[in-house]
Amino acid sequence: MTIDLKTVKHISKLSRISLDEEKAKKLETDLNSIFKWIEQLNELKTENIEPLSSIVETKLRLRKDEIKSKNIREEILKNSPDENKDFFVVPKVVE
């Protein structure tokens, strides 16, 4: 799969990202090298390979889920941008 300059500009328009000609060409080159690498990965024979979650073959130790800090509500709420006695208040993000 290859990406041309027209596709890069179309994607940038859809994502509302302004790109000048130089950045668009660099992005085209970068995206094509990424897709080339993905195609190389897809060629690997992985049918008989078991999934791996970690290279270390040890099990995680379980610990008790217990509360270690009590009554720190005021200490946490003092970091809130707005004052409120009950909640951590943050500025509105979505319009």
Model pLDDT for residues 21-34, shown as the tens digit of each residue: 999 999 999 999 99
Tokens 């040890």 map to which residue? 58
Rounded distance between C-alpha atoms, residue 52 and residue 66, angstroms: 31
Residues paired with 82 in a beta bridge: 89
pLDDT surpassing 80 at residue 7: yes
CATH pick for 5-42 out of 2.30.30, 1.10.3580, 1.10.20, 2.60.40: 1.10.20
Write down the pLDDT at residue 1. 77
pTM for this entry: 0.50
Q: Convert the pLDDT of each residue in 16-74 to its tens digit.
A: 999 999 999 999 999 999 999 999 999 999 888 888 877 887 888 898 888 887 778 87
